[in-house]
């Protein structure tokens, strides 16, 4: 049977109410017997740190509603749809993010002409769940698109994402034509100062990022931050002007309201698209977080890398887009 195991501080445990544990048995691990002084010190530090973080990263609404909720929920050992439900339950439900009448862009990775079982693209089952969940939470319209690397019609079809997103009720749009993009400024950036984003992103109330975790031949890893390249018209600019810098700086322009990482079947080598079956590993993880840097830091560790080894994660951390220091965060870990 499933159990919820905590690896965080005692403070995290205490703050987590049974309501968020959803009636599941809470197990305390043995190493949580910390003395009182240590407990107090950690409580204060974490409290200050999380207040500061929330304030600084513009997530005040989280603070108001999400007080007591974890910063990240990681689930493992389940099927994607089950893990998604568990994760969202623990994270306060989709209604915490998607308000009635909202227009939502769900951005999966469907960039390659590869079948779902090769996991070069986000699993269609997960995309379907996310879209359904947004609509159930009251979203007026959910748009799904990706500026694909391979031919878009083939990628949309053969990844299975187009079909599953449409079945769930999303509007799937093409995104490989420059005329669908509008120029925007990114004043905080050094390199990616101005670029063009998909017009639908401009009109939407929020962005929900649903990447698949993979090894990547040029950035080491592709997960949440890298996935946002599919919202931009000119990827060549990224490649010739500092790929990692641009990937991180996009988040200065727009940070997803929620990131949901599909790390079920993970390309461990020869990524991002032509991995052989032996390059894949069944990891069965799913993470949700509002912190895109933190979720990428967790992703890196699933790939067996340190967060700081992935340059765009380090840059994202330095730009204070989020934190890659997972110890400073409250992470709820659910092993099914």
Partner 1 sequence: MNVLRWIRVVAGIAVLAAFCCMFVLDEQLVGDLYRVLPGTQLVPSLLSLIAVSGSVFGVSFIVIGLATLFVGRAYCSFLCPLGIVQDVLLRLEEWLKIRRRYAYQKPRPVLRYAILVIAGLSISSGFLTAVIWLDPYSLFGRMAYSLLSIPIRYLGQLIAPMAEPRGILVFSDLAKGQIPLFALVVGMLLLLCFAALTLLAGRFYCTTICPVGTLLGLLSRHSLLTIRIDGDTCVNCGRCERVCRSGCIDAKNGAVDHSRCVLCFDCLSACPKGAIGYRPRRAGPSVTPVGQRRKLLGGGLALAGFSIAPGIALRYAGASEHGHSPVMPPGAVSIARFKTRCTACHLCVSKCPTDVLQPSLIAYGVDGMLMPHLDFSRGYCEFDCNLCSQVCPNGAIAPITIEQKHTLQLGTVELNEDLCVSYTKNQDCGACIEHCPTHAIYGELKDGVHLPKVKPEGCVGCGACVHTCPEQAVRVIANAVHKQAEVLEQPEPPQYEETRKGEQPTDEFLF
Rounded to a whole number of angstroms, the minimum distance from the CB of residue 130 to partner 1 is: 17
| Distance (Å, whole) CA 61 – CA 58 | 8
Considering only residues 123, 159, 219, 323, which one is a binding residue for partner 1 as defined by CB under 8 A?
A: 219
- Burial class for 64, CB neighbours closer than 10 Å (0-12, 13-18, 19+): exposed
User: For residue 263, what are the CA distances in angstroms to 61, 65, 324?
Assistant: 28, 28, 18
Scanning 59-67, 99-107, 128-136, 173-181 for contacts with partner 1 by CB under 8 A, the matching segment is 173-181
| Distance (Å, whole) CA 218 – CA 209 | 21
Considering only residues 56, 65, 67, 177, which one is a binding residue for partner 1 as defined by CB under 8 A?
A: 177
Rounded to a whole number of angstroms, the minimum distance from the CB of residue 284 to partner 1 is: 6
Considering only residues 52, 171, 188, 202, which one is a binding residue for partner 1 as defined by CB under 8 A?
A: 171
Q: Which two tokens stand for residue 165?
A: 């997103």
Rounded to a whole number of angstroms, the minimum distance from the CB of residue 51 to partner 1 is: 23
Question: Crossing angle, helix 243-253 and helix 311-318, to 10 degrees?
Answer: 40
Strand partners, 144: 106, 172
Rounded to a whole number of angstroms, the minimum distance from the CB of residue 41 to partner 1 is: 23
Scanning 18-26, 33-41, 211-219, 252-260 for contacts with partner 1 by CB under 8 A, the matching segment is 211-219
How many residues bind partner 1, per CB under 8 A? 60
Rounded to a whole number of angstroms, the minimum distance from the CB of residue 280 to partner 1 is: 8
What is the H or E stretch that residue 295 is in? Answer: helix 292-302
Scanning 11-19, 47-55, 97-105, 149-157 for contacts with partner 1 by CB under 8 A, the matching segment is 149-157
Considering only residues 225, 298, 313, 315, which one is a binding residue for partner 1 as defined by CB under 8 A?
A: 298
User: Binding of partner 1 at residue 326 (CB under 8 A)?
Assistant: yes
Rounded to the nearest angstrom, the gap between the alpha carbon of residue 152 and the centroid of all alpha carbons in its chain is 23
| Distance (Å, whole) CA 335 – CA 317 | 28
User: Binding of partner 1 at residue 335 (CB under 8 A)?
Assistant: yes
Rounded to a whole number of angstroms, the minimum distance from the CB of residue 274 to partner 1 is: 5
* Strand, coil or helix: 143: strand
Radius of gyration, CA atoms only, the chain: 19
Cβ proximity of 220 and 305 under 8 Å: yes
Considering only residues 32, 43, 95, 270, which one is a binding residue for partner 1 as defined by CB under 8 A?
A: 270
Nearest residue to 185 (alpha-carbon basis) of 197, 177, 193:
193
What is the H or E stretch that residue 300 is in? Answer: helix 292-302
User: Binding of partner 1 at residue 190 (CB under 8 A)?
Assistant: no
Cβ proximity of 250 and 226 under 8 Å: no
| Binding site residues, partner 1, CB under 8 A | 3, 5, 7, 74, 76-77, 113, 149-154, 156, 158, 162, 166, 171-174, 176-177, 216-220, 235-237, 239-240, 242-244, 268-274, 276, 278-279, 281-284, 297-298, 301-302, 304, 311, 326, 331, 333, 335
């Amino acid at each position: 049977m499933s159990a919820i195991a905590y690896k965080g501080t005692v403070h995290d445990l205490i703050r987590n109410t049974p309501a968020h544990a959803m009636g599941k048995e809470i197990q305390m691990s043995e190493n949580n017997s910390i003395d009182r002084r240590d407990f107090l010190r950690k409580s204060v530090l974490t409290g200050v740190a999380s207040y500061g973080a929330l304030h600084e990263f513009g997530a005040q609404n989280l603070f108001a509603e999400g007080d007591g909720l974890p910063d990240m929920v990681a689930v493992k050992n389940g099927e994607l749809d089950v893990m998604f439900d568990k994760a969202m339950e623990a994270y306060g439900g989709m209604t915490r993010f998607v308000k009635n009448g909202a227009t939502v862009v769900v951005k999966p990775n469907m960039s390659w002409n590869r079948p779902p079982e090769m996991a070069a693209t986000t699993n269609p089952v997960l995309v379907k769940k996310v879209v359904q969940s947004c609509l159930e939470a009251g979203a007026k319209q959910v748009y799904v698109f990706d500026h694909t690397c391979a031919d878009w019609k083939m990628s949309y079809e053969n990844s299975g994402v187009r079909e599953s997103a449409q079945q769930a009720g999303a509007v799937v749009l093409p995104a490989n034509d420059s005329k669908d993009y509008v120029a925007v400024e990114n004043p905080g950036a050094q390199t990616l100062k101005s670029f063009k984003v998909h017009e639908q992103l401009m009109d939407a109330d929020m962005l929900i990022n649903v990447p698949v975790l993979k090894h990547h031949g040029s950035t080491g890893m592709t997960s949440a931050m890298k996935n946002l390249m599919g919202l931009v018209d000119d990827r060549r600019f990224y490649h010739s002007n500092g790929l990692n810098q641009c990937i991180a700086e996009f988040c200065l322009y727009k940070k997803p309201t929620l990131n949901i990482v599909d790390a079920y079947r993970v390309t461990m080598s020869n990524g991002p698209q032509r991995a052989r079956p032996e390059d894949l590993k069944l990891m069965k993880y799913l993470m949700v977080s509002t912190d895109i840097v933190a979720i990428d830091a967790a992703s890196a560790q699933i790939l067996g890398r340190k967060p700081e080894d992935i340059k765009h994660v380090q840059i994202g951390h330095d730009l204070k887009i989020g934190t890659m220091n997972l110890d400073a965060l409250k992470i709820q870990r659910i092993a099914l």
